[in-house]
Amino acid sequence: MPCIKVPAVLPPLRPWSKNAQNRCEYDDIMSYWIAHEAITFLIDLGKYHQALHDFLTHDEKEQELRFIPVISRQRFVVSRTILKHILSEILAKEKIADIILIRTENGRILVKDQPHVYICLSYSGTSIAITVGKRKLGSDIEGVRQVQDKKISASPIFNNYSCAPGKERMWQVIHVWTLVESYSKLYDKNPYPLLNACSPFKDVDFVSYCIDQRIIFSLATVRGHFTDVLVWLDI
């Protein structure tokens, strides 16, 4: 079966590291929001502590319990709580309780009564990426590693690019997979059928980052003038 046509040239991996220039505090969020169409906040699961549960609604606490692995439960708590604090700055809400998150049938997270705000969450190990934008978007973060999932590693999609085997190939596979995942989130699709789909990525722009030489993050948006920023959230 013909494979999906990925971009002829992969988007360049923008180098990024957690330095002083890329750090963001809550007081900085509004200035970033004014200047860009999307902000991606990186945080680590080390920020988890029991007090974060106080910011979850009753329904969210029940949803947390449905996750079996401990790491999944902790990522849920951290991402939802920090997201609410980020949104309180962007929407100028004094009370975190005024931020009501709703989840659509296809899993997309929305802010109640705020249709102009778009959200995408992504996880890899202890790394959490929270993207907030002014237009619909999709994002994915992946640690660079050998892919064990044969549905991914055996897909012909990766044969569109010629490169040396070994470590370079591993980086390439992860990079392309972040494009597939971010594209699928943008259009609320299952990523796996895309691996052998015939339709190309139409009318989509991608931005990709190489984080501290070990993680790849990609962001997908509908084509058009678009600016984004990737920051480490100091909390």
Lowest mean pLDDT among 120-129, 135-144, 156-165, 182-191: 156-165
198-221 pLDDT, tens digit each? 555 677 899 999 999 999 999 999
The per-residue pLDDT for 72 is 94
pLDDT tier, 1 (very low <50, low <70, confident <90, very high otherwise): very low
Across 59-85, average pLDDT: 94
pTM confidence score = 0.91
Across 91-104, average pLDDT: 90
pLDDT tier, 8 (very low <50, low <70, confident <90, very high otherwise): low
Cβ-contact 153, 147 below 8 angstroms: yes
Cross-strand pairs, 24 = 233
User: Considering the chain, what is the average pLDDT of its residues?
Assistant: 88
pLDDT value at 55 more than 80? yes
CA 134 – CA 44 distance, rounded (Å) = 24
The per-residue pLDDT for 5 is 59
Domain ranges of the chain: 13-233
CA 204 – CA 76 distance, rounded (Å) = 29
Cross-strand pairs, 101 = 111
The per-residue pLDDT for 7 is 60
Lowest mean pLDDT among 41-55, 69-83, 132-146, 167-181: 167-181
The per-residue pLDDT for 125 is 93
Comparing 157 with 232, the larger pLDDT belongs to 232
What architecture (CATH level 2) is domain 13-233?
Alpha-Beta Complex (3.90)
Sheet containing strand 215-222, strands side by side = 13-16, 204-211, 215-222, 137-143
